[in-house]
Amino acid sequence: MSGKRVVRVRKKRRLRKRRVLLAGIIVLLLSIVSYSSFQFVAGQNLGSENGGIGNSDENKEKTEQFENRQEYDFEEPEDKKINILFVGSDQREEEVSRTDTIMIGQYDTESGEAKLVSIMRDTFVEIPEYGYNKINASYAIGDVALLTETIESNFGVPIDHYAVVNFNGFKDIINTIAPSGIEMDVEKRMQYQSGSGDVNIDLYPGEQMLDGEELLNYARFRSDSESDFGRVRRQQQVMSALKEEMLSFSSVPSLPKTAGLLTSYIATDMTNTEIMNYGRKFLLDPPENMETKRIPVEGSYTNERIEGKGAVLSHNEEQNRQAIQEFLNGTGATANTETESTNEESISSPS
């Protein structure tokens, strides 16, 4: 065989190998896309079957009200920080929507830093056009739009997006992300049953894997001396654990289905494209730690009982406005990673 013929044969072999490799890559990519699309739709269907509100008329109305809310003047940030208002809704059938979870999650798309601020639901604030009341009353009165206005006017923090999730949705999301549960160190015996029987918390102390319902119960418990303060601390623990679970390799296959669940279960003004883009950036540049803070900050509040409003947290408004802005703007405030206080007086009955 001549040298030229040998060269031609080798070139043909290399070309065949490249074609086979390219075909294999294309098949793999198509398989991944098909799997992801199937799982995404499966997640959406699961949410719809269980009463998801992501694509409902109710969500469209929330978004319209959110976009048309009263605007406040804020300095445009130089960085790429996104502030998302997270609300945990406990609406039951035709009852007025209630919330005991009010959080502002911030993600810096440039640095990859993540921060989380929890606002105590009984914080006594001025609700635009309605006067002073507990901050969660703004949600009952005017849904997410008025709650956003209340946060922006009282704390000077611009809200870019909102996300409202009901408790049933939370349980299914957890069970999809972590079918074996999420590890949590339950610090004490937690036992509580509501008068209506719809809340039944029964947890024992120790490190254990909690499924969606158990994790929700852990985050909701407040029948102890810490009351709402302990609940806020546990909610932040759950969010941090959830962040770690989503970034773990074992949860990657479930992410498309989780994304579908999110679009179905969560009422939000964000489009599917925005959710996927933020999620992609979060996964490609994950934060090492998630800093947390609680409002009102330690030493800035007192427990008071006001006629017609019940037990409230009266707070130093300027001190807390400055604290939250310094924390989110990164101008020197440090993260509150420990319990800031134990409150001996229960703010209101457990929910």
Question: What is the average pLDDT across 1-20?
Answer: 64
Among 39-48, 107-116, 169-178, 339-348, the range with the most confident prediction by mean pLDDT is 107-116
User: Which residues fall within 8 angstroms of residue 188, CB to CB, at 6 or more apart?
Assistant: 205, 224
Task: Give the Cα separation of 160 and 317 in Å (integer).
Answer: 23
pLDDT digits (tens, 9 = 90+) for 273-311: 787 777 777 766 777 778 999 999 999 999 999 999 999
At 344, list the tokens.
Answer: 């001996």
Q: What is the pTM assigned to this prediction?
A: 0.77
In Å, what is the CA distance from 86 to each residue of 20, 39, 331?
48, 25, 23
d(CA 348, CA 346): 6
Judge whether residue 334 has pLDDT over 50.
Answer: no
Q: Tell me the C-alpha to C-alpha distance, in Å, between residue 48 and each of 262, 289, 311.
A: 11, 33, 38
Which of the pair, 112 or 136, is modelled with greater confidence? Answer: 136
Q: To the nearest whole number, what is the mean pLDDT of the chain?
A: 79
Most confident of 20-29, 104-113, 316-325: 316-325
Q: Would you list the domain boundaries of the chain? A: 50-329
The pLDDT tens digits for 58-71 are 788 888 999 999 98
DSSP label at residue 72:
-
> What is the model's pLDDT at position 349?
37
The per-residue pLDDT for 52 is 56
For domain 50-329, the CATH class is alpha beta
Q: Which of 221, 167, 182, 161 is nearest to 50 (CA)?
A: 167
Per-residue confidence band for 344, with pLDDT thresholds at 50, 70 and 90? very low
**Torsion of Cα atoms, 329 then 338 then 219 then 176, to 10°:** 70
Please give the structure tokens belonging to residue 176: 């999809």
What pLDDT is recorded for position 203? 96
User: Under 8 Å CB-to-CB from 179, ≥6 apart: which residues?
Assistant: 254
pLDDT of 272 strictly over 60: yes
CB 154 within 8 A of CB 125: yes
Least confident of 11-25, 78-92, 127-141, 159-173: 11-25
